[in-house]
Chain A
């Protein structure tokens, strides 16, 4: 068990972390190119990351004193900018387990690693849509909750627990969640953008050459489908064909198809963009006219979850890490760092008010009702993948 003194490590430090984020204009998750060519990203990130000193977490847990033998290494496959290095360091101080943080720009890249086998990865943080396939292909193991004694189910927001991708949370516990929405610069866009229908109409007309869609079939095909009145998880051939026709007609008028949405939005190369919570938030912090909206007509809601790889070589360390990182205090610190909302209500309650009440990070529940989780079928659909290739190859 890893407990920390509850009254410590809140506002003053959090405020500082926030200011640091502001100053650094930190890159977001998924801003990474999905490229093996970028094998150096982990090294670059490690070099750029602020030093992990100054942690306030005290080694009071049983894991450090006389618990099971944890070994000295843990391999964590996660997203860029998702973990506060101070939290990782605190875990190492507590348990003497060094955490090797590997960052990936997409769930697909994580999957390529663990599907190949023998990756050495212990803890993976996939998005919801990958979980079912990973479970049926036995890439991740059922969680041994006995080894996560700090987990209290009652503390967790039921909106994000016990979802269809993992009934009863047998395999996953949420790390953070977020939305896929519309980021835009109101100094250039005179309309209030409120829906995907409006986004895609304006992208092909008034703001031709100024719109960006992401290079991810789930979000781009899904949002376009919502604009046409279909589900994010559209699968009927005639509906998919309608979405394809619309996106192929739109493609020449787009500024780019890229998941690296922040640079063009910041430079005003693009004025509006499909974006994930963190992108919208960071652009908005640095630019007063940077807006982020969750579309009124629907779209994607997602959860990234902690899972333990089936071939995890350091299983005990993996569970000790989950127990540590999921405790409300540490979860709150992680949220202050990465600025994605957390599914643990106790952690949320510990957040500074400006984060807890931030409408981008924590949209009011009524904004979420129309959103959908991307399904495993959507993620694994060969038809959608081929369709996306045709759209990208079109002139």
Chain B
């Protein structure tokens, strides 16, 4: 994906033995992907063409019925995409100023401040999300708001709570790549911009932001893709009332025991995400000028 890989293609190892070494080096990773990524995906694809057995599970077959059925799950798909996009945008709006402040004004505190963002992630995702159930539950923030004279407010089990959970849990994934791209920023470029008469707004718009764009795109992708598969946040903070694709999938494999339909939905989801990643690659290629690393992924 990066420019570096294109460069290396002009310096291929010339000796056959070197290629053998390369093959050996790649063997563990290649077999890992083959066994644990491609093989399961293949199974998923095969099952998606089958039928649900009368008592649930899978019965071999070849039909596209399950893919036609995907239309019946439009609501969870729309819910997930909308809240996924909203979550990504809010994460970006919160993380960019944060990363900018850290990178430009952090000084000797940079490392400590960065650690403060990362350390909460060491606690279990489940436990952190559970904690929000109590913060948003009626004995938490709503009771404080009521004490301040507001009427009874329900926060937990609303789409708002789901959005909050997404932003809270995924913020570091957005902040880190943006921080790294801003941290690496060549300050001589900023000085050059100023020397050429650009004000601070113009410098940010024309120099800083374009240079940090790869970090922004990486961050958006790191947030958006896992949120699309999110199961726990809508379950715990949405109270089962905000139905996500992840919940629809879990229900298909457990409550409905309709493995073929679940597989078809999952396969379609994987393909959709591949399209998103393909788009990402295309955008980063276009953004990266020669001599600069285009991506973090």
Contact = CB atoms under 8 A, between A and B. Distances in A.
Contacts of B138: 267-269
Given A133-B55, A393-B76, A216 B255 contact: yes
A210 B54 CA distance: 37
Interface in A87-128: 106, 108-109, 111-112, 115
B92 interface: no
Nearest to A376: B55
A256 B154 CA distance: 12
Interface in A305-322: none
Contacts of A254: 241
Given A111-B56, A389-B73, A257 B241 contact: yes
B248 A389 contact: yes
Q: Which DSSP category, helix, strand, loop or mixed, fits chain A's interface? A: helix
Contacts of B53: 137
A186 interface: no
Nearest to B76: A393
Interface in B202-254: 231-232, 235-236, 239-241, 243, 247-248, 250-254
Contact of A209 (B52, B154, B255): B154
A109 B72 CA distance: 24
Interface in B33-58: 52-57
Nearest to B55: A133
Interface stretch (A31-39, A190-198, A330-338): A31-39
B57 A392 contact: no
A34 to B, nearest CB: 5
B257 A111 contact: yes
A392 B232 contact: no
Contacts of B247: 392
Interface string A353-395: 0000000000000000000000010001010011011101111
B76 A255 contact: no
B255 A108 contact: yes
A258 B240 CA distance: 6
Given A255-B157, A269-B137, A35 B235 contact: yes
A217 B248 contact: no
A386 B52 CA distance: 13
B133 A263 contact: yes
B196 interface: no
13 contacts: A35-B232, A106-B254, A108-B254, A115-B57, A133-B56, A258-B240, A263-B133, A263-B137, A267-B138, A382-B256, A389-B72, A390-B72, A392-B247
Interface of A: 33-38, 40, 106, 108-109, 111-112, 115, 133-134, 136-137, 209, 215-217, 251, 254-258, 263-264, 267-269, 376, 380, 382, 385-386, 388-390, 392-395
CB-CB nearest 7 A-B residue pairs = A256-B239, A133-B55, A257-B240, A385-B256, A393-B75, A108-B254, A393-B243
